[in-house]
Amino acid sequence: MMLWLLFLSLPCLGGSAPVTSDLDPGTELVGIIGGHDAPPGKWPWQVGLWVNRIGNQWKLRCGGSLIHPQWVLTAAHCILGRDPVPFNFKVQVGRVRSSDDHTVKVAKVICHPKYNVSQRGPGGADVALLKLVAPVTLSNLVKWVALPPASFTVPPGRRCWVTGWGDINSSVPLPPPYHLQEVEVPIRADEFCRCQYRKINRFIKDDMLCAGSEGQDSCQGDSGGPLVCNWRGTWFQVGVVSWGEGCGLPNFPGVYTRVTYYLSWIYRYVHSSP
């Protein structure tokens, strides 16, 4: 068995598996584990994180979310190297098809100081902020997502959503035209998640949150993307896609960085919501 936090000298790979509850009969489920194509504008905070590899070759490596017109929240394991150069990153906004058009350059990359490069996602503190060179123009297709109050907890069993351009099954990449996928996933009880991962010598820390079920999960390439829950009509981002054992396995839900755990750190840089 293999953890789907694949690093192969790449900046990141993660997990995502979105689906909507209002599917028309006969809708084909493609993409993300158990997911399907996301309608344009449904997740207007979703961004794609593009990384410049050697030879000026740009590659989509991760997801992320707008939490402010000039700030993106993503996973620290999406950031390549210990001293990342901002101009090696750019962010695609307002598009459901993966493309390095409509991108915004990054001015600053901030990984959480407790993130351990060698331990990656399972080590915890898998969270990073990207400051864009300029605020994005907000529209029906481009908006920020709300961060939850510090006291916000999501009860086990609540169904939330994860989105991304990642694999649609273990080692099965999303096929062209690379349309953003969405999937509905249940929040899993912390104790259940700890117990399951302990069996394979992996430990769920206090800054982690688990979500997903058999056939509904995030997967490689979705890392850094948002796990969002609707509460009284407002979408709150409760998690950042981080790591997991396989994709869509019955007893190993996806593991997310718990956003409430890092609110004070985020607000140190992102001073206030606009």
Mean pLDDT of 75-101: 90
Band the pLDDT of 30: cuts 50, 70, 90: very low
Active-site residue, from 77, 112, 213, 242: 77
Task: Report the pLDDT value the prediction gives residue 107, as an integer from 0 to 100.
Answer: 97
Task: Indicate which residue of 16, 65, 98, 223 is catalytic.
Answer: 223
Q: What percentage of the chain exceeds 90 in pLDDT? A: 78
Given a cut of 90, whether residue 123 has pLDDT beyond it is yes
- 65-98 burial, b at 16+ Cβ within 10 Å, e below that, comes to bbbbbbbbbbbbbbbbeeebeeebbbbbbbbbbb
Catalytic residue among 126, 167, 217, 222: 126
User: pLDDT, tens digit, for every residue of 45-71?
Assistant: 999 999 997 777 899 999 999 999 999
CATH assignment, 46-141+263-269:
2.40.10.10
In this prediction, residue 102 has a pLDDT band, given cuts at 50, 70 and 90, of: confident
Place of tokens 């829950």: 229
| 158 vs 4, more confident | 158
d(CA 57, CA 10): 13
What residue ranges do the domains of the chain occupy? Answer: 46-141+263-269
b/e code 236-256 from CB counts within 10 Å (16+ = b)? bbbbbbbbbbbbbbeebbbbb
Residue 180 pLDDT > 90: yes
Residue carrying the six token digits 């056939």: 215
The question of whether 264 is a catalytic residue gets the answer no
3-state secondary structure of 130: strand
* pLDDT at residue 170, as a whole number: 81
Q: Mean pLDDT over residues 181-204, rounded?
A: 97
Q: Is 77 in the active site?
A: yes
pLDDT at 169: 86
In the annotation, is 126 catalytic? Answer: yes
